[in-house]
Amino acid sequence: MKDEIEPDVIWEQRVKDVEAEKERKVVTSPGFSFSAAGLLFPYHLGVAQYLIEKGYIKETTPLAGSSAGAIVCAVIASGATMQDALKATKILAEDCRLKGTAFRLGAVLRDVLYKFLPDDVHTRSNGRVRVAVTQILWKPKGLLVDQFDSKEDLINAVITSSFVPGYLAPRPATMYRNRLCIDGGLTLFMPPTFASKTVRVCAFPAARLGLEGIGISPDCNPENRASPRELFNWSLEPAEDHILDRLFELGYLDAAVWAAENPVYKVVEDSIPTAENGSAN
């Protein structure tokens, strides 16, 4: 199924997914989309911490993400705290600092996700979380998945969404649902949610990347941020724990600046049936 707003994007819906969508619960608008971010994952956790605390993200809020953004969406949907997710991130970072990152990050990430996420995370995510992957045959195109058969299926989706060729594992691509796929951020850097309005969260300075329509990013707080070079380096190699804590803090502070101009009573609409929502923006 093609997305009405972004026709180049394929929204995968199997027959059973269509039936499941009919049972989808009432949702809260807006939705939040988290960008690809590499190992800047703590930044997204900090943003999510603020949005959850202040009532922007509720149990019915639609979510979407690519790469690290997809992982944080699964974490939010799981009901875990962002502080516990930060602790799990530090475990992954320490492993990679000691044993290396390239070619093995995927295996380490999979192990951490299996231990951290609850067994019913796929049920909590179904119909709420959109994970973006890039299908590369016969030509690259974005693929959105929002129904998952099991915990393993969800983890496979977010690992695929994070699959940078030759970085997560020593191969150029990975298989997901019989498709040859790579990192979702290559085609859907910040994928749309199914809400009537989507607020986009970017871990990099959006203006420097030429991105428009970004809600929360380091541009919200230009006087209190790491340099683009530092962010780029930390996105590829695991930073020390105190820097991971700082990234979490920066995400929290940037979300607070955005919220000051977008009060929750203005931004968060009453819950409305999905049928009235239509496709995502």
| Cα–Cα distance for residue pair 232/172, rounded to 1 Å | 22
Cis peptide before 258 (omega within 30 of 0): no
Q: Which of 95, 183, 219, 254 is catalytic?
A: 183
Residue 88 structure tokens: 């799990």
How far is the CA of 111 from the CAs of 106, 146, 178, 185, in angstroms?
9, 22, 22, 22
Contact by Cβ (8 Å): 206, 219: yes
Q: Which amino acid is at 162?
A: S
Beta carbons of 264 and 127 less than 8 angstroms apart: no
Longest distance between any two alpha carbons in the chain, whole Å: 51
Q: Report CA-CA distances (Å) from 236 to 94, 101, 102, 115.
A: 14, 8, 9, 23
Beta bridge partners of 34: 65, 201
Catalytic position from the list 67, 78, 161, 162: 67
DSSP state of 157: H
Please give, one letter per residue, the 3-state secondary structure of 37-48: CCCCHHHHHHHH
Give me the phi and psi of 27, to 5 degrees please. Answer: -115, 165
Token pair listed for 59: 């149990």
Say whether 125 is catalytic. Answer: no
Q: Is 67 a catalytic residue?
A: yes
Dig out the tokens for 233 from the structure.
């380096």
Torsion of CA 156, 252, 215, 270, to 10 degrees: 80
Q: Tell me which residues are annotated as active site.
A: 67, 183
